[in-house]
Amino acid sequence: MTPVLDAEGAHLAALRRLTDFRDRRVLELGCGDGRLTLGIADEAAHVLAFDPDAEAVERARHSLPAELADGVTYRVASGKEIEIKPHSFDLVVFSWSL
Amino acid sequence: MEPKDVVHVLRNMVEAVKPGGLVLDLQVIRPNPVVETDRQMVCEIDGEPLFRGADAATAAIEALVRGGELIEQAVDDHDVRKHYANGTELVDDFAGKRRRLPNHALPNLRKLTRPCAVRERCRLRRFQLERLWTSTGEHLMIR
- Split into its structural domains, chain A has a count of 1
Q: pLDDT (tens digit, 9 = 90+) per residue, B17-29?
A: 999 999 999 999 9
Q: What are the sequence ranges of the domains in chain B?
A: 22-128
Residue B107's pLDDT is: 95
Q: Say if residue B42's pLDDT is above 70.
A: yes
Looking at chain A, which runs of residues are DSSP E strands?
4-5, 25-29, 46-51, 72-76, 89-95
How many CA atoms does the CB half-sphere of A45 hold within 13 Å? Answer: 8
Strands A72-76 and A46-51: parallel
Is residue A63 a part of any domain in this protein? yes
Is residue A59 a part of any domain in this protein? yes
Q: Is B88 helix (H, G, I), strand (E, B) or coil?
A: helix
- Beta carbons of B83 and B112 less than 8 angstroms apart: no
Residue A2's pLDDT is: 86
Cα A91 from Cα A48, distance rounded (Å): 11
Q: How confident is the model at residue B143 (pLDDT cuts 50, 70, 90)?
A: very low
ipTM: 0.95
Is residue A3 a part of any domain in this protein? no
Q: pLDDT (tens digit, 9 = 90+) per residue, A22-63?
A: 999 999 999 999 999 999 999 999 999 999 999 999 999 999
A74 CA: distance to closest CA in chain B (Å): 16
Contacts of B100 (CB under 8 A, 6+ apart): B45, B46, B49, B94
DSSP B114: S
Size of interface A-B (CB pairs under 8 A): 128
Nearest to A11 among B10, B17, B80 (CB): B80
Is residue A10 a part of any domain in this protein? no
- Domain span at residue A52? 24-94
CATH code for position A47: 3.40.50.150
For residue B19, say if its preceding peptide bond is cis, omega within 30 degrees of 0: no
Q: pLDDT (tens digit, 9 = 90+) per residue, B51-100?
A: 988 999 999 999 999 999 999 999 999 999 999 999 999 999 999 898 99
Is residue A65 a part of any domain in this protein? yes
Residue of A nearest to B59 (CA): A98
